[in-house]
Chain A
Amino acid sequence: MRRGIAATALVAALGLTVAACGSDDGQDGDKKSSGELSGTVTFWDTSNEAEKGTYQALAEGFTKLHPKVKVKYVNVPFGEANAKFKNAAGGNSGAPDVMRTEVAWVADFASLGYLAPLDGTPAIEKQNDWLPQAAASTKFNDKTYAVPQVIDTMALFYNKKMLADAGVEVPKTLTELKAASKKISEKSPGKTGLYLRGDDPYWFLPFLYGEGGDMVDAKGKKVVIDNPAGVNAYKTIKDLVDSKAAITDASDGWNNMQNAFKTGKVAMMLNGPWAIEDSRAGAEFKDPKNLGIAPVPAGSVAQGSPQGGWNLSVYAGSKNLDASYEFAKYMSSAKVQQQTTEKLSLLPTRTSVYAQPTVASNEMVQFFKPAVDKAVERPWIPQGNSLFEPIKLQMANVLGGKASPEKAAADTGEAYRKLLKDYK
């Protein structure tokens, strides 16, 4: 018993001393120790196989700044992330605190009440530094629901050697592309000029913009995909495949495209900066200089590709909002963006980062930055992501010969009007 009392007294004394020290620090005005963040931040990352290692390392680097916060990194494949987040958020269990969100998902998630508004929170840092078009995708109903982390657009990836062997220039228009493709096939039978994604509607957009079209006119609340431009876009993809200028698939398009390009079965593909890391791993690009990048070929009217990218959003039901805001701020900070560019050649969303020598000298950034400046902004409406499914369906119908381009465009328009009840 006696020993027990002595031990208690000792503990009490020690406790007092510690407390005293603590309060001393506080009086010295050391801001770091007051209100220190702790707990766990679950982060859902949607980057691809080639990128995820870098992202994991960056995310876990957060603990260096805030040692008491544990970062739980989860890689969720891009294709499943949207549905998975909605299941978790709507069901109120299992949603991550912070998620790497595709630009078109922000308005959707925000409109359903799943995201925490970030205005006035620590998540937003130096908003003036954001590229205006990247910032546009973070807003819904005049509130900010995400911070931009990566911006991108599509371009023409080409195999320099294959084009040189066939004696063709980098095509600037689809007409030139068809001619170049013909020469490539003649020169080496079994090889084709272009790989055309037939199973992903995102890859349809450059052809749609090339004909001067768009999906919807969000300001005028009008569906415009069934205009002649939309019909022509469907005609274009069919013509590219029928004339054997391009090969395509209705399934497994990403793998087939990357394989074909990396092994030199096709000389060109449309793709974004997210494919750089993976392409460079291919046999054809052992010498990284062989990979060329050019603007997307122009259609009959214009030249354009969609603006994409990734934002970081915070789940409204997060148990640890304070740490989540800090984490979002950290992942969109200039330092982290610079690192993603150095390691993965992804494009930053902060003007200041472009001024960094390592970023400015990055060949991919030098090419993609002007392209991003001219990229076409998508409609930032809650249904933005749902606009793709009808196109996907009709692409397969057109390429499979089941529907004429006219019918495909009309049917896409009809599906849009069903989806967007107040649109003309």
Chain B
Amino acid sequence: MADLSIDFAGIKSPNPFWLASAPPTNTGDQVMRAFDAGWGGAVWKTLGNPIVNVSSRFGGIDYGNTRMMGLNNIELITDRPLEVNLREIREVKRRYPNHAVITSLMVETKEEWKEIIQRAEEAGSDGHELNFGCPHGMCERGMGSAVSSEPKVLREIARWAVEFATKPVIVKLSPNVTDIVEPGEAVLESGAHGISLINTIKSIMAIDLDRMVPLPRVGNASTNGGYCGPAVKPVALHMVGELTRHPYVAKLPISGIGGISNWRDAAEFIALGCTSVQVCTAVMHYGYRIVEDMIEGLNDFLDSKGMKSILDLRGRAAPQYKNWGELDLGYRVVADISTDKCIGCQLCYVACMDGAHQCIHLPGRTEEQARKAGHTHIPKLIPDRAVTARGGAPGARVPFVDDDECIGCNLCQLVCPVSGCITMKEVPSGKPNESWNDRVQRGADFVPGGLHVTEVERAKR
């Protein structure tokens, strides 16, 4: 059994799984039920001057058979009196002293920040998460993502918080910025103790085409909301990656948020450098119970890799996140279609024909037929193969790859519905191990026939 406990800027937690500040952390009863289910920590639904929320306030996006692959909301911070929230926080900490309870905060003036931080600490909060991320409603009032997108403002408010707080301060960032590094550096400069990201992405979920109103609909109108759920995970991973490879910002502990639904997602965020992960949409979909699989799955994963603790996993993938110019131009893969597994759907064929490089062929065609179908390059040998997989219809054709033409783009593997049927095999490219940056340095950063030529090339002419 691996050690799942973490220390996040001094905030201790029995495991890295925290509930993100959102409806699942709205009340003390909820948080205590979550801790009973196994969650290691909870970031309390944002405290501030209570607001009035609208109805409805959530919109979902489905894809195929998957419900709620994305969710958005136009809910604001807590609509419950501060006194009630603080009383419940005190009660939760009294009953669960070893779990992490972090208060998410959002107020306007310096005096308000001072007051709310002190009152949260008196209630027993283990740390504060400054909500500089909400992209709807509160930003119109100069809070939420309005702060995240102004590094100077962010730095100043975070400095107030650090000054007033005796507990660690975490700054939660909005993804609604051009470059996440700027607010990241501002957090570092503020002296805050940690970063969490991402908050939700500005979005309009859908349009009700009968009423001609965007969703979620409030009466006869709507507004842009914050997008979250499994669909935003790649955006979140990228932004986390930008900060975890920053030479200085990376020294701060990072709490990863964004589409984390299971142990594998969590492991990925931790491998990229996160210390804790925060979950919301998956809990809103399936309830607190999902944490059992997250704990068990992460534990078994660490065991299977011979890792003893979260620290062994943390940041293992970060050094491999590089700029494009550092990638090896000499590396080459080509697609390989398994005749045993192919079911003969030929989705790879059409994807390659119309969406890629026309290097997947159907067997049994004459050269003329192949040219008529759109192939400009005809392989020397066109085999005549039938499907042998147990799922394939008798006699169905297994497409084959023209190895010489395949550029190794991956598209066929991505569209193939049968897992493990198309693999990308490494082949020698005959080219040296060299990156674009190497070529720039060597003065060979041009492609013959291109628009621009280098100084070296120009000199030759």
B and A form one assembly: no
Give B residues with C-beta under 8 Å from A.
none
